[in-house]
Amino acid sequence: MPELPEVETICQDLRKKIIGRRIIKLKILEPKLIKNPTAQVFIEEVTNRKFEEVRRRGKYLIFCLNSGKVLVIHLKLTGVLLYLLSSVPLTKQTRIIFKLDNDYSLRFLDRRKFGALYLVSSLAEIAAMANLGPEPLQKEFTFDSFYQRMKNKKRKIKSILLDQGFVAGLGNIYVNEVLYQTKVHPVRITTSIKKAEASRLYQGIRDTLRKAIAARGTSVNTYRNLSGERGKYGFALKVYGFEGKRCHKCGGKIERMDLEGRGTYFCPKCQKL
């Protein structure tokens, strides 16, 4: 599942490849993925426009076009963006193709069709984006506000870290890893979290995200970068997907529980309730 480090990796690669490029043809094989205007209007407004800027906000990719409109893509669970020579044969999971003015295409693949594309005049038109919390690697994400906002809620720590309105960009893999690293049980209630623990969480979030970006993301599943390569952070994972395996800190067994529909991995000895 692409989370902040994966989307950031794609974003960095996109900047190098598509800035200044014109979209000369757009093929939508799966119109359902276009959430904002109709697929027809989307095609009309994207075709012949140039990519001027690419940015990331949370898990959203933001493409500013030279028309002033903004294309937004969320990869959800299985979305993949590939920059390929247009002559490369299409694969089965290809859903949308942006043919560029240089023999290359930007292709959106999505095995499970959960992805979402929008074309808007302002990001505020996308409600979920308007409600996004701070960017964890930016200045706006301070320890004081992180701790205060946590204290103002009465929720499970794992739920709140996954909440995009609390902090933008974390997903299930990195939240499991951060909680394990910092020895905080996923079900701990935010009001009971001590300042020292919150501090470890805050640092852990930033540290983990930075390292994962440096490793170009995690490819547990379908994630691939723009060139179709896997991220290397999967080798650094310590709990996610390790049910029944030994905890490398205490030698105990990693357990898995269901928390609000998400696979939740933890070491019951290191992460006490």
H helix or E strand, kind and range, residue 81: strand 79-85
What are the beta bridge partners of residue 259? Answer: 262
Instruction: Considering the candidates 49, 57, 59, 188, report the single residue annotated as catalytic.
Output: 59
59 flagged as catalytic: yes
Contact between 111 and DNA by CB under 7 A: the answer reads: yes
Contact between 224 and DNA by CB under 7 A: the answer reads: no
Residues 6 or more apart in contact with residue 13 via CB below 8 angstroms: 83, 225, 226, 227
Gap between the Cα atoms of 73 and 242, Å rounded: 31
Q: How far is the CB of 129 from DNA (least distance, A)?
A: 8
Q: Which stretch binds DNA (CB under 7 A): 49-57, 99-107, 134-142, 149-157?
A: 149-157
35 flagged as catalytic: no
Collapsed DSSP state (helix, strand, coil) of residue 269: coil
Contact 21, 52 (CB under 8 A): no
Looking at residues 169 to 188 of the shown chain, list those that interact with DNA (rule: CB under 7 A). Answer: 171-173
The single residue among 17, 22, 155, 230 that binds DNA, judged by CB under 7 A, is 155
Backbone angles phi, psi at 177, to 5 degrees: -65, -45
- Number of residues that make up the chain: 273
Contact 129, 57 (CB under 8 A): yes
Q: Which is nearer to DNA, 93 or 208 (CB)?
A: 93
Q: Which stretch binds DNA (CB under 7 A): 44-52, 97-105, 137-145, 164-172?
A: 164-172
Q: For residue 62, what are its two tokens?
A: 């933001």
The single residue among 56, 57, 74, 188 that binds DNA, judged by CB under 7 A, is 74
Q: How far is the CB of 162 from DNA (least distance, A)?
A: 6
Which residues of this protein are in contact with DNA, per CB under 7 A?
Answer: 1, 32, 58-59, 74, 76-78, 92-93, 111-114, 127-128, 153-156, 159, 162, 164, 171-173, 258, 260-263
